Each structure stands twice: as C-alpha cells, then as structure tokens.
Amino acid sequence: MKIQDITIGLVKIPLRTPFKTALRTVECVEDIVIKITAEDGETGYGEAPPTKAITGETLSSIANALGTYLIPAVKGMDLKEPAVILQKIQNCIPGNSSAKAAMDMAVYDLTAKHTEIPLCILLNKSTNLKKPLMTDLTISVNPVEQMVLDAKEAVARGFQSLKIKVGKEGIKDLERIHEIRAAIGDQVGIRVDANQGWTPQQAVAILQQAQDMKLDLEFVEQPVKAADISGMAYIKANTQIPIVADESAFHPEDAERIFYENAADMVNIKLMKAGGIYEALKIAEIAGRYGKKCMIGCMLESKIAVSAAAHFAAAMGDVVTAVDLDGPSLCAVDPYIGGPAFQDPYIYMNETQGIGITGIEQNYYEEMEGGK
C-alpha cells in the first residue's frame, strides 16, 4: 500500500482569550494541516504550528519544507514499511522540526488505521484506553488581577493544575504567583513556566523566596536561556523545586546531555520540537534509562497535533507523568470531526482507529498550493 497523494492546508481557529508568554502574544491558532491519502483511500492527518520564537518556523517555511522537500521525499513510498518512511522524514532536510512532526504523525495515523487500532495501542499494546489523561491549563502573562480571574475560572472548570506564565519581570513574577495561590487555595497545583526569562541567579533567588513563601510549586519550566545547560544545572543544585527542561530539549541528544549533566529533573517532550513521534519515543527511552520522567507538552496547537501527543502520552504513561496538552481547551471552537474527547482537564481516549480525526469543518480550513 503506497502513499498516493499529499495535500496541505491552513486551519484558523479563534482562541478563548489571547495567549501571552514572555516571548509572544497570539490571538488565534493558525496552523498548517497535512493530509496523506493511501492507494486505498484511507487518510492520515498531521498538523504543524508556526512557532518562530522557539523552532524558527513560520507558516511559509513550514509550507515550503513540506512542499519542496518532505512531500516529494515520501510520496509513493510503501506504507508497509513505516519505519523507512519515518527515517526518511527525519533525514531528508535539516531542522524544520514542526514540518517533520506534521508528516510524521500523519504517517503514524495512517499506519494505525491500516492496522485497525488506535495510535496509542500501536505504540504500546498495553495502553489502558479507559484511563483518561489529565492536563493542566496555561494562564497567560497579564496584569495580576487578570491572571487571578483566569486562574479562578480555570479552577471552576475543573482544572487541578495550572501552568503560570512568568519570566518578564524577574522577582515581581512572585507577586503573580502569590496572588494566584491565595485566590485558588492549596488544593490546586501550580506549575511555573519562565519561558527562558530569568538568569540563573535570578531563578535561584526567586525560587528560594517561593519556598520561603510556601507557594508549593510543582516545578519550574525552562528558567534560563535554552543554551544555558550549566546555568540550569546551577539552579537545580540550589533549589528543592523540580526543574523541567523545555526549549533546551529538542532532540534525543539534548535529553541525553541534560540528564547526564543533572541539569533537570524532567524534560518536556513536544512533538514539534522533536520532529514527531518517532524521535519523541527515543527521548522517552533515554529518560527511562536515567530513571527520569517526562512531561508531554504542546505549542499553540489544535486538536490534530494535540491528539497525536495525547496518544503518545497514553502509550508512554510509565515515563510521561505530567501532561500539558491544553491547546484544544484554549480554542473557542472545535472544528474537527472525531479524535479524543477534550473535556476541560480530562482527555478521554477511545477505540477509534489512528489518531481519530476523520475530517475538518470547511469554515475553518483552506487548502493551500504546494501539496500534490
């Protein structure tokens, strides 16, 4: 069974509220969607968000990488040998991790559909489909009053862990965290994401004060610049709060170095950083070898990509112990047909074959030139 056709399009979905981090502000999901069609008419879906500040990719660069390199490389290949296709995706062009991830997940989707099982079962036949995942919800960087309101609304929706975006104002970030903790009580987990916004010395001072204030933080994510592995190791050595590497950990070799140098307690696996499920599995294996755990996260992605990540998380439950897959929860509408059910903090898997997506409402989707 060969790959017969590949098309790309643009999906545009409004957000409930603008998404703000220390690096950017976004008001809608605007992602590239890829559809692979096999000779028997079966289809596989993939998705890639433009996250220039992190992966260096834009909508045009993703479309170009797919149309010029990735699509010609895999079109006509035999789906009976998915590992060969997945390796070809990784090797046919350097960088472009999100474009690769979109193609990768579409191939996995098709492979699982042809095997007539959910993707998570393809990845791990022992996956418990009846056990829902529980995601946190991101609270964007805003004036503290707005962040408190957003946090209280999230708790009212049932979220039991919140990820607080900080990193813009150093020690003043503690005020936001303190006010949020006071507003939501001590039964809800708080995860802090500094998005590379602190220096190592700032981070140690802030986290020490957070401990003194008894803010009870689950962990702090990417406190320093991505390249500053030694700085992150310094922070880990000088705080009791667990450290999670995000932008520092794109590829398996990054995870290997981080754990070898004892620079973080966990790594945040994102399919868009890793280049897809094929490479993410390698990161999970490395973490397991070091006796470490992983977080599964996402960029500003909609339901296709987040569903693929949810299947990965469900399959890798022994290693993936923290879930940050709130993309669909941030969207104002769900234009997709099928897939896991995202009900506020809960992600319910099901027995639908592949990723589970079977179509897209055309009001939110426009086909693009470049996929053939």
- Note if 163 is an active site residue: no
Residues 193 and 135 in one domain: yes
Rank 14-18, 21-25, 117-121, 143-147 by mean pLDDT and report only the highest.
117-121
The mean pLDDT of the chain is 95
Residues 82 and 155 in one domain: no
Tell me which of 35, 165, 236, 273 is the catalytic residue.
Answer: 165
What's the whole-number mean pLDDT along residues 15-21? 83
pLDDT of residue 171: 76
CATH number at residue 32: 3.30.390.10
Residues 187 and 203 in one domain: yes
Residues 297 and 157 in one domain: yes
Residues 38 and 187 in one domain: no
pLDDT of residue 372: 47
pLDDT band at 206 (very low <50, low <70, confident <90, very high): very high
Tell me which of 20, 113, 270, 293 is the catalytic residue.
Answer: 270
pLDDT of residue 274: 98
Give CA–CA dist 236/185, Å, rounded.
Answer: 27
- With CA atoms as reference, report the closest residue to 105 among 54, 44, 191: 44
Residues 16 and 147 in one domain: no
pTM for the full predicted model: 0.95
Q: Residue 360 in 3-state DSSP? A: strand
Residues 112 and 205 in one domain: no
Q: Which range of residues forms the domain containing residue 24?
A: 3-116+361-368
Give CA–CA dist 20/191, Å, rounded.
Answer: 16
- Note if 168 is an active site residue: no
Give CA–CA dist 127/313, Å, rounded.
Answer: 10
pLDDT surpasses 80 at 370:
no
How many domains does the chain contain in total?
A: 2
Residues 161 and 307 in one domain: yes
Residues 13 and 107 in one domain: yes
Residues 296 and 152 in one domain: yes
CA torsion 173-178-183-187 (nearest 10°) is 110
Residues 207 and 335 in one domain: yes
Q: How much of the chain exceeds pLDDT 90, in percent?
A: 90
CATH number at residue 268: 3.20.20.120
pLDDT in tens, 51-108: 998 999 999 999 999 999 999 999 999 999 999 999 999 999 999 999 999 999 999 9
Residues 31 and 177 in one domain: no
